[in-house]
Amino acid sequence: MDNSPDKSPAARGRTVNGGVPVAPAAVLFDAYGTLFDVYSVGLLAEQLFAGRGEALALLWRDKQIEYTRLVTMSAPDGSRYRPFWDITRAALRFAASRLGLTLGSDAEDRLMNQYRALSAFPDVREVLGQLKALGVTTGILSNGDPAMLGVAVRSAGIEALLDHVISVEPVRAFKTDPRAYGLGPATLGLAARQILFVSSNGWDAIGATWYGYTTLWVNRAGLPLEQLDTAPTRTGASLRDVLGFFPAAVAT
């Protein structure tokens, strides 16, 4: 199978003067897993369920993403849509049940409140601050509902570093539905190829590439590329790799 980078115009990004790269006009970040560490809930989960915290955090996340796909694909008209907060609670309940854990109301509330204010990755403020200093428009494009995202952004102290916080809620469809990705260009007034979409989720980076964004997959875990004959515009190991799209940032 050919795993070479996608040669589509979106994957090549914008160029001028015979191929000289042009910095993106804006950057949109996925939130959960990219800016906020979804597995940081494992610490509390371990306190509540000794020896099972990591397993709970992993299954919780997997089921959360599975449920977003299920409700979106099962009803394209959005009739089965539920806010990401509700999806997250349902996924927690399934994960606990699947692992044979007794999830009382107190433990459930504590874990959900922890998810509401997930830890931001250490490089988030640095990267957003540098983009802000360069005058680059920044934002979040996330499955999260507005209330969830608002708390997470304020808790991380990055509210002033973001120009937009975009939830998929208005279209009642989760990523990778094209309607969800379409909120970025519609909000920013830019073509998708002019926007750098950044995600640490490989499936999200591929979905955004297919939609037409210039993309960066932040592959912190060193995972293999999705085997779908498509690659993001670039792959990095840190959020700092976003700055590589901006020559002015690299030069400083």
Q: Active-site positions?
A: 30
230 three-state secondary structure: coil
- Crossing angle between the packed helical segments 146-156 and 105-116, to the nearest 10 degrees: 70
Residue whose entry in the numeric block shows the structure tokens 């007034």: 189
Find, among 1, 22, 10, 6, the residue nearest to 181 by Cα.
Answer: 10
- C-alpha gyration radius of the chain: 18
Give rounded-to-5 percent helix, strand, coil for the chain: 50, 15, 35
Taking CA atoms, 237 is separated from 34, 158, 201, in Å, by 11, 22, 12
**Number of C-alpha atoms within 13 angstroms, CB side, residue 35?**
31
CA distance 127 to 129: 5
d(CA 128, CA 9): 27
Please state, in angstroms and as integers, the Cα–Cα distance from residue 205 to each residue in 5, 217, 226, following that order: 13, 6, 10
Which of 216, 49, 196, 225 has its CA nearest to residue 136? 196
